[in-house]
Structure 1
Amino acid sequence: MKKQLLAFALMLTAVSAYSQKPSKKNYQYINPIIGTQRMGHTFPGATVPFGSVQLSPETDTIAYELNKKYNGEVYKYCAGYQYDDKTIVGFSHTHFSGTGHSDLGDFLIMPTTGALQLNPGTAANPQSGYRSAYSHANEVAQANYYKVKLDESNITAELTTSQRVGFHQYTFPKTTDAHIILDLMSGIYNHKEKNVYTFIRIENDTLVTGYMQTQGWARTRTVYFAMAFSKPIKEYGVKKYDEGNIYNGFWRKFDQTKNFPEAAGRNLRMYFNFDTEQNEKIKIKFALSPVSTAGALVNMKIEIPHWDFEKAKADGQQLWENELNKVKVETLTESDKVNFYTALYHAFINPTVYMDADGSYKGLDQNLHKVDGFTNYTTFSLWDTYRALHPLFNIVQPKRNRDMVQSMLAHYSQSVHKALPVWSNSANENWCMIGYHSVSVIADAVIKDNADFDTKLALEACINSSNLRYYDGIDSYLKYGYVPEDKNGSSVSKTLEYAYDDWCIAQMAKKLGRDDVYAEYTKRAQNYKNVFDASVGFMRPKLSDGTFKKEFDALDTHGQGFIEGNAWNYSLYVPQDPEALIALNGGKEKFATHLDSLFTMTLPDKYFEQTEDITRDGIIGNYVHGNEPSHHVAYLYNWTGQPYKTQQRVRMIIDAMYKPTPDGLGGNDDTGQMSAWYIFTALGFYPVAPGSDHYALGSPKVKEATLSLENGKTFTITAKNQSAKNVYVAKAELNGKVLDRLYLTHDEIMKGGTLLFYMSSKPAK
């Protein structure tokens, strides 16, 4: 009997222990591998929310081996890593997440053993250099943590970060030939042209400082560093490469090649040698600064003053948990939760903090500045992120978004053009893509009462940016009311996007009591009508003589007046005035038919670039989810009297374009825009026209979501009868009252409350 009682007690103890098993934390649902295959262009390495350091592996074989600047192969390596590659060349400290253009990849570190090799080798023959084969079976990617086994040297590499410090931990075998390579030539932008000048100083037997000036996509960028080792260096050296020839090592009266405490030049690779015992860990802290090596040292001392790798990892993961807890969700499947929290993770990587711990940073004028009451940010891919990422921030990251606007206004004040950023990074303006979409971000913040900044200066900056006559066809736009194709390419896209931005300025001016500006920009916002050809039912390139261009193919993307889209896509781009767009197209029924055909047509092969299958990524019919101009399109059914089609389409898109797999993003994540679309759509609403306080209703993917707002309120979304088949909304209730409209307002969300969707398998027509 006693044995039976004992067994029963043990069973109860086991059941109790199981029932008390800690629940999974939200950061544990993050899978940084998502989007690393094909065209997602994400990186799998370690970073903290909005971190200055993104420490990640490089698998780029093409830039090293071919040095081709703009072919499709190099394009694949915008984030430095492609899942299908079999070798790793090292671990660098700066990356773009999900972009369609490359740069960064600064300060590549690689641990090796055996004979010292200072060339990277090739993917086909990694033993010919410091490159190593690896296997995904020996790879771990988590929030703020990356681990991989390097097969060539039997070294285990582990990475974690703080805001401005990369923390490496390398576990070596027993050897007298352990090396740490610091490659100052490597980069994600054609490395032979990238490096302008490098300076390195060996401060003592555990500390190295220096800086690197580069000329890549950003035309002048200087990054300072401090590199600390956990054990003394046995010996060190440098090799300098100029025009393919190895420098002989002599400088004035000194031999620099071995144990000389400083080096300078254009293309340098350094090595640091150690003796190691079996499973000995060599740790490296690598701090960055936009200002000075002294700043980098202070950043290191403030952020990671210790050598506890696990603590640094846990601290960073807690930062992710804090951010993810702003949106708590319950989903139908584990995969949906992985998708959601990975999307939130990708949305919270960029923009990135750009200043030292004391607030110092380099400005667009290349002078040193210090912030006054805000955090300075960089990495603004605004053509992408004005659509959903910044509107998302206005809900769940309002303080950060205000600081981002402050950063844009600082950029404006430092700009010789007196222009807001277009695509800016690290004290540089890249002038990439079209529009002046900073005004959308600023107007959206003002309209949504998230404007704790100088709104008078903000309106001035928006007006000046919209009148930059020598920039990208604006002179013609102001003269003709449209951009003529014979004056400036991508003319229709520019006209449409300038008109939307002008509408944003008008809304902002109205809110700020500037009726004169409101009247002027409301008129300018109508310019989209000037490129609509009623005879064909499409937006169409117009010439400076007032006639439409004769050669026209609504499906072609080349030479037709559009960028990253065709006439079918861009003819639906009037987010500020869907009712007028529908009227132009012959009314609701005809317009809905046009929308239907967008999703159901089959594009002939001739409209794809035959040499690159990547052009087929992110496409459903002729709807191109991988290119942002289409992101609002599925929600336009709400204005046609057929909201059930919006509901059906957005659930179809979300299932087709987002998966918890390496190839799980249907196009470049574009610094979080693709992910922000997912988050909004999964929650059941979307900002069709940033600059408005309305969000169009869709079909939620979550079962329940709770938004913990910075004002202390909570907003809860619940989907009753949620299932994979129940994609239609039978009715919706806001705070217990039936919602008799197809939108929410920003104020309704920020006041807190409950939005209840009743889901059904049948459309409510």
Structure 2
Amino acid sequence: MNLNKTFCFLFILNTARVLFAQDENPVEYVDPLIGTAKMGHLYPGATAPFGSVQLSPDTDTIPYAVNGRYNRDVYKYCAGYQYEDETITGFSHTHFSGTGHSDLGDFLVMPTIGELHLNPGTETNPDSGYRSRFSHDEEYAEAGYYKVKLKDYEIDAELTATTRVGMHRYTFNKGNEAHIILDLQAGIYNYEEKNVWTFVRVENDTLVTGYRQTNGWARTKKVYFAMSFSKPFKNFGQAKQKTGVYRGFWGRFDQTKNFPEMAGKNLKLYFDFDIQEQENIKIKLAVSPVSTEGALKNLQVEIPHWDFDKVKKQTQQAWNAELSKIEIETLKHSDKVNFYTAMYHAFLGPTVYMDVDGRYRGLDQNIHKAENFINYTSFSLWDTYRALHPLFNILQPDRNTDMISSMLEHQKQSVHGMLPIWSHYANENWCMIGYHSASVIADAIVKDNVNFDTDEALKAMVETAKVSYFDGLGEYMEKGYVPEDVSGASVSKTLEYAYDDWAIAQAAKKLGNNSVYKEFMERSGNYKNVFDKKTGFMRPKLKNGSFKKEFDELDTHGQGFIEGNSWNYSLYVPHAPEEMIKMMGGKKQFSTHLDSLFTMNLPDKYFENTEDISREGIIGNYVHGNEPSHHVPYLYNWTDDAYKAQDKIRNILKLKYQTGPEGLSGNDDFGQMSAWYIFSSLGFYPVAPGSENYALGSPAVKKATVKLKNGNVFTIETKNQSSTNVYVKKVELNGEPITQPFISHKSIINGGKLVFYMSGKPNKNLYN
């Protein structure tokens, strides 16, 4: 169904029921098209919660050279789809959700009729290839389901998925000779990616198996598949390849048509069918990190039948079960759409990475078996440690401990002895900075969500924090800071290492390991070593101990920072805000400093051009589109002006999260942006994961009921809530007034009621 039209209809028909009733079908409020334009980098296709398969349309593919130039913006197509595009090249089975880097896009399938093409063609000349035009008026996206009409072929394409299997249903509105294209060259990366090898085996006239191994962002990624057709194909074949096929004795066979074994770097296959008008072809494609045998088993276990609608129903029931963990009442219909869509995005990853029998490919490229846990992959930890994993400790405690078990296995398999930094598909990509697995693990330990070996976990964190050759870490341990003339983004690294060290210390304290606690608490104070008292900002320091002379606190280039400037990162001491505030002149001066951050006007010279898309995530010099600032509005809670956080939080919720494809102001980053929205809408946020406390803000919901795994219920209510009543007059927990702007994790997990009394005027003495 068309979500936007349906929502409008329901809104007009029965506003009160839509806005205020407790819903049993929150899937109706999920709009997967939100964030599919510009920098959201989200895909609209079908997937199950935390599913291994993300079956989604691609509007561009691996770039093909045109006049010696590659015609694709790699960053733009991290999810393979851009809402502004007018053609679809096909439907591939693996996608990242909202990342700032591209990969995956495995096993692209495209149905066509008429003349056979085995290249995708170009957006400017779609008739030269197998791609098709489409219209958003004939495109529908729901949680677990996607549909679009391929206009050039008059084919209705429908997609759904289980955890490891993608299911297609293609209805042909015209009778003709039909083709199903399977393009193993297509992928989501840049021109440097090369298929190491692809292999396909036609087992019979309805079953095909094979694998694709690539050298892209993940330098050695291998994915197996098993593909089953609901109808036998009459012919099959492959496009001719320049290399890798016609060698030696293989040259005696014509391998381009009806030859059952195909191998090469860039296989492109076709399967021919005679199709009657209104006939459909269904396809099931299962993936495996281990083998084609594993893919077949995944297919047989998860979808042993051909009932497409049954799969869709079961997957949407699974989504309803996940989304129903929070029931909300909102002021506006759009708030409800944004909230449940944020929950949907938060539950897309990390993704399950093992076969139904528990086997998976490890970092050492050997096959392992997960014992007593589900193995996960795609850990975008620089983003997700901040709010997504803390959210999991409330809503997905079992999954979060399984994710930690997956991280611990990664560490065992690593020749470096390190926990994941940014890992996916049995590869470590070393993307971004810090060792934030430590934060995720420490947060779970401190919050008593510990279905894993805690002693082993503490040991893994300590070992990771002492790998001297990692990203300036040796100099950090020796000097207490990362020198800029040794390793770039040195200030950001120093600050993030210091925070992770504090997190390790909190875990050690909880576990009673006093020696590790003392060691890492001392290290956690290293943020002081890059603070320049003269300027009042964090500043890059050289290996000789002096500050770098050339310095502009507003510039992001070559100033010692990553995805931020000194204004942003000087506020990144989430583990010691009292000390940071004292260091920066005290509560009054710090509060004024925060005011300036939100109101200042950045000159055009700090952007690449006047239309720089990164402006969309900015309020003043507060950069919501990049994660290092996400805790910043809540820092007012450590001053005497906690009320100043409240209107700013509500303003961010209003401006940076909207419905529609352009609704997000930056990459969703595997759920971090969405997790910020969920927490902030509920009225609290984990400023420093590893602490048991959350900072209070200004809730945007009228009421929220959080259903916890232990059977308890935590309720948030607001009195006198409105779009203008953004200030908190008073707060009560279980009928007792809260006198500090914080709430503990135990208060949530034990169940109870948190009530905010809202007002249009600030209460300047609320927590004083």
Scaled to the shorter chain, the TM-score interval is: over 0.9
RMSD: 2.0
User: Does the CA contact (< 8 Å) of 1:249 and 1:256 recur in 2?
Assistant: no
User: Does the CA contact (< 8 Å) of 1:481 and 1:527 recur in 2?
Assistant: yes
Q: Secondary structure at the match of 2:63?
A: helix
Cα distance, 1:60 vs structure 2: 1.6
Cα distance, 1:640 vs structure 2: 0.9
For residues 246 and 67 of structure 2, the distance between their equivalents in structure 1, rounded to whole angstroms, comes to 21
Q: Secondary structure at the match of 1:186?
A: coil
Alignment of 1:664 with 2:663, yes or no, is yes
Equivalent residue number for residue 206 of structure 2: 206
For residues 708 and 723 of structure 1, the distance between their equivalents in structure 2, rounded to whole angstroms, comes to 25
For residues 73 and 405 of structure 2, the distance between their equivalents in structure 1, rounded to whole angstroms, comes to 37
User: Does the CA contact (< 8 Å) of 1:68 and 1:190 recur in 2?
Assistant: no
Equivalent residue number for residue 147 of structure 2: 147
Equivalent residue number for residue 505 of structure 1: 504
Equivalent residue number for residue 531 of structure 2: 532
User: Within 5 A, what are the aligned runs for 1:337-736?
Assistant: 337-610=336-609, 613-736=612-735
For residues 53 and 349 of structure 1, the distance between their equivalents in structure 2, rounded to whole angstroms, comes to 10
User: Does the CA contact (< 8 Å) of 2:62 and 2:186 recur in 1?
Assistant: no
For residues 57 and 72 of structure 1, the distance between their equivalents in structure 2, rounded to whole angstroms, comes to 17
Q: How many equivalent pairs are there? A: 748
Cα distance, 1:85 vs structure 2: 0.4
User: Does the CA contact (< 8 Å) of 2:436 and 2:500 recur in 1?
Assistant: yes
Q: Note the alpha carbon deviations across 1:114-157, whole angstroms, 9 max, x for none.
A: 11010101101111100111000000000011100011111110
User: Does the CA contact (< 8 Å) of 1:707 and 1:716 recur in 2?
Assistant: yes
For residues 645 and 431 of structure 2, the distance between their equivalents in structure 1, rounded to whole angstroms, comes to 32
Equivalent residue number for residue 10 of structure 2: none
Where does the alignment leave 5 or more consecutive residues of structure 1 unmatched? 1-13
Q: Which amino acid aligns with 1:157?
A: A
User: Does the CA contact (< 8 Å) of 1:240 and 1:249 recur in 2?
Assistant: no
Q: Which amino acid aligns with 1:260?
A: F
Alignment of 1:77 with 2:77, yes or no, is yes
Cα distance, 1:192 vs structure 2: 6.6
Alignment of 1:241 with 2:237, yes or no, is no
Alignment of 1:194 with 2:194, yes or no, is yes
Cα distance, 1:252 vs structure 2: 3.2
1:722 to 1:249, Cα distance in 2 relative to 1, 3 A: farther
User: Does the CA contact (< 8 Å) of 2:63 and 2:71 recur in 1?
Assistant: no
1:611 to 1:92, Cα distance in 2 relative to 1, 3 A: farther
Q: Secondary structure at the match of 1:444?
A: helix
Equivalent residue number for residue 317 of structure 1: 316
Q: Which amino acid aligns with 2:108?
A: L
For residues 73 and 193 of structure 1, the distance between their equivalents in structure 2, rounded to whole angstroms, comes to 14
Q: Which amino acid aligns with 2:239?
A: K
Where does the alignment leave 5 or more consecutive residues of structure 2 unmatched? 1-12
Q: Note the alpha carbon deviations across 1:391-411, whole angstroms, 9 max, x for none.
A: 000001000000000000000
Q: Which amino acid aligns with 2:545?
A: G
1:72 to 1:304, Cα distance in 2 relative to 1, 3 A: closer
1:72 to 1:645, Cα distance in 2 relative to 1, 3 A: farther
For residues 250 and 713 of structure 1, the distance between their equivalents in structure 2, rounded to whole angstroms, comes to 69
Alignment of 1:330 with 2:304, yes or no, is no
User: Does the CA contact (< 8 Å) of 1:185 and 1:191 recur in 2?
Assistant: no
Q: Secondary structure at the match of 2:91?
A: strand
Equivalent residue number for residue 273 of structure 1: 272
Q: Which amino acid aligns with 2:131?
A: R
Q: Which amino acid aligns with 1:227?
A: M
1:23 to 1:503, Cα distance in 2 relative to 1, 3 A: closer
Q: Note the alpha carbon deviations across 1:21-42, whole angstroms, 9 max, x for none.
A: 9967101100000000000000
User: Does the CA contact (< 8 Å) of 2:245 and 2:264 recur in 1?
Assistant: no
1:635 to 1:581, Cα distance in 2 relative to 1, 3 A: same
User: Does the CA contact (< 8 Å) of 2:22 and 2:329 recur in 1?
Assistant: no
Q: Secondary structure at the match of 1:321?
A: helix
For residues 69 and 229 of structure 1, the distance between their equivalents in structure 2, rounded to whole angstroms, comes to 38
Q: Note the alpha carbon deviations across 1:167-215, whole angstroms, 9 max, x for none.
A: 0000113434200000000000126733110110100110000111111
Cα distance, 1:74 vs structure 2: 1.7
For residues 652 and 428 of structure 1, the distance between their equivalents in structure 2, rounded to whole angstroms, comes to 39
For residues 561 and 609 of structure 1, the distance between their equivalents in structure 2, rounded to whole angstroms, comes to 19
Q: Which amino acid aligns with 2:205?
A: D
For residues 567 and 699 of structure 2, the distance between their equivalents in structure 1, rounded to whole angstroms, comes to 27
Q: Secondary structure at the match of 2:549?
A: coil
Q: Note the alpha carbon deviations across 1:306-364, whole angstroms, 9 max, x for none.
A: 10110100110000000001111111111000000000000000100000001010100
Aligned-pair identity (%): 66
For residues 745 and 102 of structure 1, the distance between their equivalents in structure 2, rounded to whole angstroms, comes to 38
For residues 353 and 407 of structure 2, the distance between their equivalents in structure 1, rounded to whole angstroms, comes to 12
For residues 264 and 275 of structure 1, the distance between their equivalents in structure 2, rounded to whole angstroms, comes to 27
User: Does the CA contact (< 8 Å) of 1:40 and 1:665 recur in 2?
Assistant: yes
1:265 to 1:246, Cα distance in 2 relative to 1, 3 A: closer
Q: Which amino acid aligns with 2:365?
A: Q
Cα distance, 1:425 vs structure 2: 0.1
User: Within 5 A, what are the aligned runs for 1:11-30?
Assistant: 25-30=25-30
Equivalent residue number for residue 117 of structure 1: 117
1:170 to 1:249, Cα distance in 2 relative to 1, 3 A: farther
Cα distance, 1:644 vs structure 2: 0.9
For residues 70 and 649 of structure 1, the distance between their equivalents in structure 2, rounded to whole angstroms, comes to 43
Cα distance, 1:66 vs structure 2: 5.6
User: Does the CA contact (< 8 Å) of 1:380 and 1:425 recur in 2?
Assistant: yes
Cα distance, 1:616 vs structure 2: 1.6
Equivalent residue number for residue 47 of structure 1: 47
Q: Note the alpha carbon deviations across 1:505-524, whole angstroms, 9 max, x for none.
A: 11111111110111111110
User: Does the CA contact (< 8 Å) of 2:33 and 2:141 recur in 1?
Assistant: yes
Equivalent residue number for residue 4 of structure 2: none
Equivalent residue number for residue 133 of structure 2: 133
Q: Secondary structure at the match of 2:54?
A: coil
Cα distance, 1:70 vs structure 2: 10
User: Does the CA contact (< 8 Å) of 2:63 and 2:70 recur in 1?
Assistant: no
| TM-score, normalised by the number of residues in structure 1 | 0.95
Q: Which amino acid aligns with 1:606?
A: K
Q: Secondary structure at the match of 1:670?
A: coil
Q: Which amino acid aligns with 1:48?
A: A
For residues 401 and 68 of structure 1, the distance between their equivalents in structure 2, rounded to whole angstroms, comes to 47
| TM-score, normalised by the number of residues in structure 2 | 0.95
For residues 207 and 174 of structure 1, the distance between their equivalents in structure 2, rounded to whole angstroms, comes to 25
Cα distance, 1:615 vs structure 2: 2.3
For residues 248 and 30 of structure 1, the distance between their equivalents in structure 2, rounded to whole angstroms, comes to 52
For residues 436 and 69 of structure 1, the distance between their equivalents in structure 2, rounded to whole angstroms, comes to 38
Q: Secondary structure at the match of 1:489?
A: coil
1:567 to 1:445, Cα distance in 2 relative to 1, 3 A: same
Runs of 4+ in 1 over 4 A off after TM superposition: 21-24, 65-72, 245-250
For residues 176 and 71 of structure 2, the distance between their equivalents in structure 1, rounded to whole angstroms, comes to 42
1:567 to 1:393, Cα distance in 2 relative to 1, 3 A: same
For residues 477 and 702 of structure 1, the distance between their equivalents in structure 2, rounded to whole angstroms, comes to 44
User: Does the CA contact (< 8 Å) of 1:90 and 1:108 recur in 2?
Assistant: yes
